[in-house]
A and B are shown apart, each in its own frame.
Chain A
Amino acid sequence: MNGFIKYMCILAGLALVVSQYFIWEYAPREATMGEIQRIFYFHLPFAWWAFVCFFLVFVASIGVLAGKGMFWDHLAGACGEVGVLFTTLNLISGAAWAKGAWNTWWTWDPRLSTALIMWFVYCAYLVLRSGSAGSLKMRRISAVVGIVAFLDVPLVFFSARLWRSIHPTVFASSGGGLAPEMWHTVVVSVCAWGVMTFVLLYLRTKQMRAMQRIRQM
């Protein structure tokens, strides 16, 4: 592990510790939902960083089809994995929040349904990738799937605005009805998970490159 990524790992750890302080101590208790609302500070960063990861899968897949080299294939793979991890955690945290706030684990709301479809699509993408190591044809097929799969991402993002949804939209009204302390916590949490996302993507991409080199030897 080189010096840069070592410092980034330490920074990610510290940022997550600071975000925990903001979530549990600094952010005020929400008046209507109470303590359960604190799930929001995990739920939102996971959703946003999963979207970023899936966008990177889309960009990297274009790079693969354009024949720009193996780096793009490794980046797409790493982003797919981290995106699926974050979407899984987003769905779990959303289900627990729904149980606390709406008294149900799941409802077939447009936002929830499109997010679940997105999760299935990217799981399928990872399954497809797992069998594509070394084969140019399979790498290209994975890249096409990586591009097509991204069609669902804007649908998830805009679903709560396009259709009648009980899922709140953070940017729907000015400030989303959040107190300034809550916004500070959102920013800190999003930044902390952003650093963590970068670290995970960097390590996994590098690892995939090393695995590819060994396979070629």
Chain B
Amino acid sequence: MNYLLLTNVAIWLGVSGYVLFLAAKQARLEKRIKHLEFLNDKQG
């Protein structure tokens, strides 16, 4: 039963870890896009 619990924890940590990695990348990407839009507005 302990091994079952261990596996379950590992699986959900792994999947949520990857989803968090995607979310962090997306946040950085949106920040960069906003910065580029700001620079574009400034030039325009």
Residues on A lying within 8 angstroms of B by beta carbon are 35-36, 38-39, 42, 81-82, 85, 88-89, 92-93, 96-97, 99-100, 196, 200, 203-204, 207, 210-211, 214, 217
Contacts and interface: CB of A to CB of B under 8 A. Distances in A.
A77 to B, nearest CB: 12
Contacts of B10: 89, 92-93, 96
A85 B11 CA distance: 10
Given A88-B14, A96-B7, 8 more contacts: A42-B8, A81-B18, A89-B15, A93-B11, A97-B3, A99-B3, A100-B4, A203-B22
Q: How many B residues are at the interface, by size bracket?
A: 10 to 19
Interface of B: 1, 3-4, 6-8, 10-11, 14-15, 18-19, 22, 25-26, 29, 32-33, 36
B4 A39 contact: yes
Contacts of B3: 36, 39, 96-97, 99-100
Given A85-B18, A207-B29, A210-B29, A96 B36 contact: no
Contacts, number: 58
Q: Which 3 pairs of residues, A with B, have the shortest CB-CB distance?
A: A96-B7, A96-B3, A100-B3
A93 B10 CA distance: 8
Given A210-B29, A211-B29, A38 B11 contact: no
